[in-house]
Amino acid sequence: MNTQPRLKAKQQIAHYQIVSLLGAGGMGEVYLADDEKLGRRVALKFLPGDLSANDERVQRFAQEARAASALNHPNILTIYEIGEAEGRRFIATEFVNGTTLRDQIGLAPSIAEVLNIAEQIASALTAAHAAGIIHRDIKPENIMVRADGIVKILDFGLAKLALATDAGPDDATRQLVRTSAGVVMGTAAYMSPEQARGQTVDARSDIFSLGVVLYELISGRRAFEGETASDLLAAILKTEPAPVAQHVPDVPAELSRILTKALRKDREERYQTIKEMLLDIRALKRELEFQQNLERSVTPDARATATADKTTAEQAQKTVASGVNGQRSIRWQGLLALVVLILIAAAAGVWVYRHARENEVAIESIAVLPFANQTNDPNTEYLSDGLTESVINSLAQLPNLRVIPRDSVFRYKNKVGDSLAAGQELGVRAVLTGRVTQRGNDLIVSTELVDVRDNKQLWGEQYNRAITDALALQQEISREITEKLRLKLSGEQRKQLTAHDTTNSEAYQFYLKGRYYWNKRTAENIHKAIDQFQQAADKDPNYALAYVGLADANMFLEEYDGAGSDSHLRAIAFAQRALAIDPSVPEAHASLATAYTHAWQWEKAEAEYKRALELNPNYSLTHHWLNLHQRNLRRFDESLAESRRAHELDPLSPTLSASLAKILLVRGDLQAAMEQCLKTIELDPNSAAGHNHLGLVYLKLNRNAEALVELKKATELVPQPRWFSGLGYGYAVTGHRAEALALVAKFEARFNADGAMTGENIAAVYAGLGDKDRAFAWLEKDFKRHAGLLPRVRWEVAFETLRSDPRYANLLRGMHIEP
């Protein structure tokens, strides 16, 4: 009960001056006030004294109100402040100049108006539920409509404040129901069955309440009624509402279906998320708008065609009718009238079909360009990159959709330019762009999907989320894109969009950081990636992709940090752990296959590559890694085919372009290899692999001076052992013996100091110098520590002179390869 005196105009409360009383009810009084500190009009809601006195309930309310204040959604009332002054607890919110939905009930709004309101409410609830906030008191009084049609949901958190923690069904009824002369009023009419029973509620309770509100808005009647509180609750629990079409005959059948599903008493049969309901509302809204536009835009030619068909039919009717009598004439006239209707419908149908075909959007390929990091903070770069890569990987799971892989699209990172030009260059039908801004713990992501063919925006959305909701945000963007691409997915295919994701937001952020570091491809960053992936797995031990990340990072350790067998054995264990959690993850099979290749377990590797391609034949890295596996076995024709397929899937990837150049070099097609190297360098002038491979091609062509320039350029771009080894080999075979020996001395010192070097890199230089004994001695060191890269002796150019030596055949047998 509120025992506090009513406030008067111009009365001062903190830095607010009261203007007038806006309303009063069981949950307190609301005043219009001036915020003298910020110079704006606000609504001040003062809680009743009995609620204000209960510190535990107020604390719970304050926590939820603070969460609601962070939603920042255009259809949710903005909360400015929660405070206390002169013994009164109050909430300061934006002032909405409009009417509640209660005022619109009974005014018979059009279906278009109802859908517009429904869409805004559902959109607001989608944002709230994504943030873990349930309203619990959706009713017409808590929904305001401004004069411009903008809808605002009020009073998030107040329903929770009204309910005691141990409230039972009777308590809830008393607290949330006002009675007058035996007539039940207020909240109880909009309760969900589980709420009426006093059970714990979840987001599906809001869905039910929204269904009740929309039912009443359309029909002017409540879905559930009763003379007493007990009668009303009994109706909510046991009685099915009359079909809304019974009250409004012309209501669309789809809208009736949406309401019926929202009002299922068993919450398992209801919409499981408000997002699902929102998508259905939007689809119906678009369909009705299309029909309306179609009716408005029927051309004179279409009308003329229908009129001409009608005239022809009428003439035929007269001709036939003149030769018949009485009953037969009437029958024929009826038949011909039917023919007339069919002809008219056919003419209109042809026009509609043509019109629809001309405007139909059928997207079969997409490029997700790197999201721009508008925060300009390097520490948040992982978010923009990670969201981009996650959306790419999610969409890549879908059938019949070609998604440009990461390496090709990241060529456009930090390049200010025309997204349409990028789409045309990538050869896709649609381009998705995005901008990411982080403000404290808030994440703002703006996205736009554009049809490259006609520069038409297919979809655009802005998301305001807590940074902890990055995972849900990525999933939401992926789902909404599939809707706009007109992809018809089965339930199982929809699940693929999120099948391998975690539900732990912290784990997801660690995973994003891990991929961010892994993609940098340096020893230091590979170690950072391992640390991030491990933290992701610690946060969610059942997060399969975290273990895939650990497998991939450990596999790269040997190449970038000189690690031996331990690293690929760990990679095998991590990949197997990922598959134990979810055997349907194609990336896990590809990672396990590559780890098996490094472990010289060829048959197992073959089986895993096959399974990876069965699950996702469009994963370019699977084709790339398989091509390397096939090179190790000297199956060069197959290797070339797989390398070309990888390059086709990711045409702007410098890594895959350089790999294609390398297999062409290995096969002896020097002209094609040189051309591919030049294309690689054109794609990325900083491609160390492109310059290194071009240097090796020039060596084969006896263009030694040019070769050394290119080999040295590779080491300048990326100072890694692999490229220094190529330069040392180049020095050796071109007669620069002193330079070659100087490099190899540094390699040996590093190997002995910290092991951050493979024996293969040192052996390559000795092979170029013609010192086979030292070359085999260093290869033997790699063999003893089971180095995963050792099988490259079968195809790397530097080892050609060793392959006739008996020690080479023995080395292969030790790796379970027939010479």
| Residue whose structure tokens are 């391998």 | 500
Confidence band of 491 (pLDDT split at 50, 70, 90): very low
Distance CA 632, CA 643 (A): 14
Distance CA 687, CA 699 (A): 19
Distance CA 497, CA 506 (A): 20
Contacts of 53 (CB under 8 A, 6+ apart): none
pLDDT digits (tens, 9 = 90+) for 517-530: 888 878 888 889 99
Phi, psi of 238 (to 5 degrees): -125, -25
Contacts of 376 (CB under 8 A, 6+ apart): none
| pLDDT attached to residue 482 | 64
What count of residues does the chain have?
A: 819
The tokens describing 744, both together, are 């190899």
Q: Which of 43-52, 80-89, 241-250, 704-713 has the highest mean pLDDT?
A: 704-713
| pLDDT attached to residue 591 | 93
| pLDDT attached to residue 508 | 81
Record the pTM. 0.52
Range of lowest pLDDT (27-41, 94-108, 285-299): 285-299
Mark 347-377 as b/e (b = at least 16 C-beta within 10 Å): bbeebeeebeeeeeeebebbbbbbbbbebee
What's the Rg (C-alpha) of the chain? Answer: 35
Across the range 684-700, mean pLDDT stands at 94
Across the range 161-184, mean pLDDT stands at 35
Does 274 have pLDDT greater than 70?
A: yes
Confidence band of 753 (pLDDT split at 50, 70, 90): low
Across the range 812-819, mean pLDDT stands at 90
Count other C-beta atoms under 10 Å from residue 816's C-beta. Answer: 12
Distance CA 142, CA 391 (A): 36
Q: Where are the alpha helices (DSSP H) in 134-269?
A: 158-162, 169-176, 193-196, 203-219, 229-238, 244-247, 253-262
Confidence band of 164 (pLDDT split at 50, 70, 90): very low
Does 797 have pLDDT greater than 90?
A: yes
pLDDT digits (tens, 9 = 90+) for 513-571: 888 888 887 888 888 999 999 999 998 898 889 999 999 999 888 887 765 657 888 89
Task: Write down the CATH number for the domain with range 12-94.
Answer: 3.30.200.20
Does 315 have pLDDT greater than 60?
A: no
Distance CA 310, CA 317 (A): 10
DSSP character string of 558-596: HHHH---HHHHHHHHHHHHHHHHH-TT-HHHHHHHHHHH
Count other C-beta atoms under 10 Å from residue 462's C-beta. Answer: 11
Confidence band of 174 (pLDDT split at 50, 70, 90): very low
| pLDDT attached to residue 45 | 84
Contacts of 553 (CB under 8 A, 6+ apart): 514, 518, 526, 529, 530, 533
pLDDT digits (tens, 9 = 90+) for 193-245: 998 888 888 899 999 999 999 999 999 889 998 888 788 888 899 888 988 88
Contacts of 379 (CB under 8 A, 6+ apart): none
Residues 652, 688: contact at Cβ < 8 Å?
no
Distance CA 549, CA 537 (A): 10
DSSP character string of 686-740: T-HHHHHHHHHHHHHTT-HHHHHHHHHHHHHHS--HHHHHHHHHHHHHTT-HHHH
Distance CA 253, CA 256 (A): 5
Confidence band of 3 (pLDDT split at 50, 70, 90): low
Distance CA 183, CA 319 (A): 69
3-state DSSP percent of the chain in helix, strand and coil, to 5: 60, 10, 30
Distance CA 578, CA 597 (A): 18
In terms of phi and psi (left: phi > 0; alpha: psi -120 to 50; beta: otherwise), the region of 10 is: left
Q: Where are the domains of the chain?
A: 12-94, 101-137+165-291, 298-359, 365-499
pLDDT digits (tens, 9 = 90+) for 625-654: 999 999 999 999 999 999 999 998 888 888
User: Beta strands 365-368 and 402-403: pairing type?
Assistant: parallel
| pLDDT attached to residue 40 | 87
Q: Does domain 365-499 have CATH number 3.40.50.10070?
A: yes
Confidence band of 595 (pLDDT split at 50, 70, 90): very high
Does 490 have pLDDT greater than 60?
A: no
Does 157 have pLDDT greater than 70?
A: no
Across the range 596-617, mean pLDDT stands at 93
Across the range 772-801, mean pLDDT stands at 92
Instruction: Tell me 482's DSSP state.
Output: H
Provide the total of helices (H) and of strands (E) in the chain, helices listed first: 35, 17
Does 472 have pLDDT greater than 80?
A: no
Of the two residues 515 and 458, the one the predictor is more confident about is 515
Mark 510-529 as b/e (b = at least 16 C-beta within 10 Å): bbbbbbbbbeebebebbebb
| pLDDT attached to residue 652 | 81
DSSP character string of 663-689: HHHHTT-HHHHHHHHHHHHHH-TT-HH
DSSP helix/strand/coil, 617: coil
Of the two residues 1 and 35, the one the predictor is more confident about is 35
What's the mean pLDDT when you consider all of the chain? 80
Phi, psi of 85 (to 5 degrees): -150, 135
So which residues are the catalytic ones?
137
User: Beta strands 12-13 and 430-439: pairing type?
Assistant: unpaired
Does 138 have pLDDT greater than 90?
A: yes
pLDDT digits (tens, 9 = 90+) for 339-352: 444 444 444 444 33
Of the two residues 322 and 734, the one the predictor is more confident about is 734
| Residue whose structure tokens are 């037969």 | 328
Q: Which amino acid is at 703?
A: R
| pLDDT attached to residue 483 | 64
Whether 365-499 and 101-137+165-291 are alike in CATH topology: the answer is no
Count other C-beta atoms under 10 Å from residue 704's C-beta. Answer: 16
| pLDDT attached to residue 185 | 31
Q: CATH fold of 101-137+165-291, please? A: Transferase(Phosphotransferase); domain 1 (1.10.510)
pLDDT digits (tens, 9 = 90+) for 289-301: 767 766 655 545 5
| pLDDT attached to residue 395 | 80
- What percent of the chain clears pLDDT 90, i.e. is strictly above it? 34
How far apart are the two ends of the chain, measured CA to CA in Å?
92
